[in-house]
Structure 1
Amino acid sequence: MVTIAGTGAYLPGIPLTNDDMAGLCGTLPPEVLEGLQVQRRHWAIDPTSGRHLVSNGEMAEAAALQALERAGIEPGDVELLVMSTSSPEYHLPAQVTFVQARLGLTRCAVVEVRSGCAGAVQALDIAWRMLESGRYANAVVIGSEIISPLLFPYLRSGDPEAVRLRDRISFYNFGDGAGAVVLTSGDGPDRLHGSVNACIGGDRQPGMHIIGGGTHAPIAEQLAARQMVRLNLDVVQSEKFGPTVFVEALDALLRASDLTIDEITGCVLPEGNAPYFTAELESAGMSAEQWKTVQSKIMENLSDVGATGSAAVPIALDDAWQHGRIRPGDKVLLLGIETSRWIYAGMALTWTAEKSPR
């Protein structure tokens, strides 16, 4: 039997409000702000100088240590680390090995998933299967993301009004952070009911694309660009096709788990209540009555942390557990929906961790 023994989260710096964003990059129309739903986000950089205050690895370490403490496991006893991030500190070595070093682990098994919002659920599924095989007694699964350094170059003019409206959406939408989940293995019934993983955008352009710093073009050409690394977000397609990804993911996960939505206590879906996401659900194939049932079960904290990529699901899961919305015996869905190439990953499980000390 594999069980979740604890969770943890880390959010850097002080919360940056929408008023803070307006002073940095200009305002957004009220209807756009309402659609995003985000009220606060945390940055790992100083918003005025761009100086890094904390690294991806430091955030991941902090989330992992909190999860381990709550699970009652010493860092030195960790046997497997599985991490997802789309914003590593270096191309190589893998980011997870830097977290390993920070935890003081001379030797352990490591796996890294290079992904965004779906990545932490993919990482959790991988770790779960590896523990089921009997190879390891425990694992720490981490999702960590530092997106703010990609945004800061847009502020170099010092004039908030110089930032284009389409770029401002990213400022208001994204935040930095890390979340972690500790898994342990032992005797008892299986707690995983089913899992799904698919990319349904093989014939589509990316909905979000981080360009630069890779091998897609000669380095000399990249250095000559106005901005070597940039984040492109297709807001229109995210609104139109994102709900389709969600509806398919939810249906596939329920079928794979042999569960109905009425049997589910909670659905951890970080952006599940954002109006931009929900407006097109009916056209994606979900009736108003179905959505009403699903919506009553969604657990997320997007308004307080922003869209945090790989960290989104574990941060939202930790928030739900900390506030007592998830209890032992509850059937919980974890769903990561990623617009980068229209990927989804989901797991349905019975919750086992006792109430966490706050």
Structure 2
Amino acid sequence: MGTAVVTGIGSWLPPRAVENAELANRLGSSDEWIRTRTGVRRRHVASAGMAVSDLAVEAGARALKSAGGGEADAVVLATATPDHPCPATAPDVAARLGLWSTAAFDVAAVCSGFVYALAAGTGLISAGIARRVLVIGADVFSSILDPDDRTTSVIFGDGAGAVVLRPGDPAEPGALGPFDLGSDGAGAGLITVRAGGSRQRLSGAEPGPREHFFAMAGKAVFWRAVQQMAQSAGAALDRAGWRPRDVDRLVCHQANQRITDHLADELGLPRERALSNIADVGNTAAASIPLALDQARAAGRLRPGDRVLLTAFGGGLAWGSVTLRWPSLGDGAGGAAAGAGEGERDA
């Protein structure tokens, strides 16, 4: 059977960068406290009037340019911060990219959303429904963060990344290998926005003043993230016939630098093989993996032929992993993404 092959990539960050000092002064914290606990030095934040669709359009346009331009038969947008609860944001993104009458839908799997969207795009191609799929991960978490909660407001940033998929052979560069996906709804309360959905609206109770904000049980999530990504990554490696030592680059969801380090240890990989850009962009949720891939490619830290393992964990709880051998891709920067390539480093 054929599979989906990555044939283009692009990313975009809002121009405004917020340094730790700006947040530390307001939260009564310090740059050192933030860096040692999260690995974040700065993050990009959407300006007033900006929405996730704006970021997605920019990243999507760059990915299409990288793929040589042209159309897409489907647009799959992974986001936890859509422009509106209804309708989905993907159709608007498709229209603004000039992709008229294109199938378009959102995937809501929070920080694991991009891996789920890749699986959906691969399914569309494998089923013969689409021949070219634009897969985007984009989030503006600044829109749902409690500005007074220093456990979350210092971690997250806004951004978008995208890839273009086409049909291909499983043995060729860029082919997405076997996926591993999973979830555990019993842990839904660990990562959540409690208000705004049908359960809260139909409960008859008014939401509390902070229930419209994102909340996360950090300590519990930390170890669940490491354990579930390690298990999922191991399953994807087994299905691909790879051993951990075969992996040239580990690209996990950029949740926290310590999570990345512990995950590499769990997999038996040298930490320097784990790509990280969290220092300069923070946790960009569904955008984190494609952003890290594009910035690593631009910086020369991800080269054609590299064996790459992608893995993510997020709200739901949901997780997923997939392998690929990195292809040679065109540059879709075209007015380079804000901060693209800046500070991207090996963990």
TM-score above 0.5, yes or no: yes
CA contact (8 A) 1:244 1:281 kept: no
**Equivalent position of 2:199 in the other structure:** 216
Q: Give 1:94 deviation, angstroms.
A: 0.8
Q: Give 1:357 deviation, angstroms.
A: 6.6
1:7 to 9, 32, 36: 9
CA distance in 1, matches of 2:43, 2:204: 34
- SS of equivalent to 1:216: helix
Residue 255 (str. 1) matches residue 238 (str. 2): yes
Pair 35,317 (structure 1): closer, same or farther in 2 beyond 3 Å: same
- SS of equivalent to 2:15: coil
**Equivalent position of 1:296 in the other structure:** 272
CA contact (8 A) 1:131 1:185 kept: yes
**Equivalent position of 1:184 in the other structure:** 166
CA contact (8 A) 1:327 1:355 kept: no
CA distance in 2, matches of 1:100, 1:114: 17
Q: Where do residues 308-347 of structure 1 align in structure 2 (5 Å cutoff)?
A: 308-338=284-314, 340-347=315-322
- SS of equivalent to 2:328: coil
**Equivalent position of 1:242 in the other structure:** 225
Pair 80,294 (structure 1): closer, same or farther in 2 beyond 3 Å: farther
**Equivalent position of 2:338 in the other structure:** none
Q: Give 1:261 deviation, angstroms.
A: 1.6
Pair 95,3 (structure 1): closer, same or farther in 2 beyond 3 Å: same
Q: Give 1:243 deviation, angstroms.
A: 1.5
- SS of equivalent to 1:206: helix
Cα deviation code 1:175-200 (max 9, x no counterpart): 1111100112256845233111011x
CA distance in 1, matches of 2:278, 2:208: 33
Q: Give 1:169 deviation, angstroms.
A: 1.8
Q: Tell me how many residue pairs correspond in the alignment.
A: 329
Question: Mean alpha-carbon deviation: is it higher for 253-262 or for 189-198?
Answer: 189-198
Pair 236,130 (structure 1): closer, same or farther in 2 beyond 3 Å: same
Q: Give 1:24 deviation, angstroms.
A: 3.3
Cα deviation code 1:242-270 (max 9, x no counterpart): 22112212211111211012222211113
Residue 194 (str. 1) matches residue 170 (str. 2): no
CA contact (8 A) 1:239 1:277 kept: no
CA distance in 2, matches of 1:32, 1:306: 11
CA contact (8 A) 2:140 2:159 kept: yes
CA contact (8 A) 1:79 1:109 kept: yes
Q: Gapped runs of 5+ residues in structure 2?
A: 334-347
Q: Cα RMSD (Å) of the superposition?
A: 2.5
Equivalent AA in structure 2 for residue 123 of structure 1: A
TM-score using structure 2 length: 0.86
**Equivalent position of 1:56 in the other structure:** 52
CA contact (8 A) 1:28 1:168 kept: no
Q: Gapped runs of 5+ residues in structure 1?
A: 46-51, 156-162
- SS of equivalent to 1:144: strand
**Equivalent position of 1:109 in the other structure:** 103
- The share of aligned pairs that are identical, in percent, is 26
**Equivalent position of 1:160 in the other structure:** none
Pair 319,222 (structure 1): closer, same or farther in 2 beyond 3 Å: farther
Equivalent AA in structure 2 for residue 312 of structure 1: S
Pair 188,122 (structure 1): closer, same or farther in 2 beyond 3 Å: closer
- SS of equivalent to 2:75: strand
Q: Give 1:240 deviation, angstroms.
A: 2.9
Q: Give 1:132 deviation, angstroms.
A: 2.7
CA contact (8 A) 2:229 2:321 kept: no
**Equivalent position of 2:155 in the other structure:** 173
Pair 28,241 (structure 1): closer, same or farther in 2 beyond 3 Å: farther
CA contact (8 A) 1:321 1:355 kept: no
CA distance in 1, matches of 2:90, 2:34: 36
TM-score using structure 1 length: 0.84
Larger Rg: 1
**Equivalent position of 1:230 in the other structure:** 213
Cα deviation code 1:283-317 (max 9, x no counterpart): xxx3xxx54x2423211211111111111111111
Residue 134 (str. 1) matches residue 128 (str. 2): yes
CA contact (8 A) 2:109 2:318 kept: no
Pair 299,58 (structure 1): closer, same or farther in 2 beyond 3 Å: same
Residue 94 (str. 1) matches residue 88 (str. 2): yes
CA distance in 2, matches of 1:172, 1:335: 23
CA distance in 2, matches of 1:205, 1:348: 27
Q: Give 1:33 deviation, angstroms.
A: 3.3
CA distance in 2, matches of 1:222, 1:17: 38
CA contact (8 A) 2:63 2:332 kept: no
- SS of equivalent to 2:219: helix
Pair 25,102 (structure 1): closer, same or farther in 2 beyond 3 Å: farther
CA distance in 1, matches of 2:209, 2:139: 24
Residue 69 (str. 1) matches residue 71 (str. 2): no
Residue 207 (str. 1) matches residue 190 (str. 2): yes
Cα deviation code 1:94-137 (max 9, x no counterpart): 11111112112220112321121111011012112222333322
